[in-house]
Amino acid sequence: MTRVRFYTDIPDRSSLILHLVEQAVARQRQVTIYLESPEAAEQLSHSLWQQSAFIPNVLAEAPQASLTPVLLAWLPEHIRQDDMLFNCQKTLPKFFSRFRHLFELIGSAEDDKTAGRQRYAFYRDRGYEIQHMKMQTQ
């Protein structure tokens, strides 16, 4: 069964993603980051390549996607692995249950929190194991 971890009140989503993805890659895990749009995916990809730690990544529609540990996707049909999913969309990823780990990344904006609460209730009501990590605002 998928393990779900919520990170809430995130002041800087990109920084948290960079930190978590760096840890995952160091452990030789496969990561899909599910974003709102191709533009958001390209922006995050650029940020990942700029890190001092080497974080190989590619847009999920790229030919070399099956060879890269970190995929950036915005459409369900782009998903090619089932290890770790970072959901950066406000909607429930309907395919989440195929993953071993699901990370829900909830910002501090009220609409983000409302959508996050709905997803939390969905997972809880279906018996998923949920961890909650409230981020400290600086």
Angle, in degrees to the nearest 10, between helices 13-26 and 38-49: 60
| pLDDT value, residue 80 | 87
pTM of the model: 0.93
Task: Tell me phi and psi for residue 52, to 5 degrees.
Answer: -70, -35
| pLDDT value, residue 137 | 55
Q: Integer distance in angstroms from the first to the last C-alpha of the chain? A: 34
Interval 40-60: pLDDT, tens: 999 999 888 887 777 889 998
Partners of 57 in beta bridges? 70
Q: What does the alpha-carbon distance between residue 76 and residue 49 come to, in Å, rounded to a whole number?
A: 24
Tens of pLDDT along the chain (138 residues) come to 999 999 999 998 888 999 999 999 999 999 999 999 999 999 999 888 887 777 889 998 899 888 899 999 999 999 989 999 999 999 999 999 999 999 999 999 999 999 999 999 999 999 999 999 998 754
How many Cα atoms occupy the beta-carbon half-sphere of 103 within 13 Å? 23
What residue ranges in 51-128 does DSSP mark as E strands?
Answer: 57-59, 70-73, 84-87, 101-107
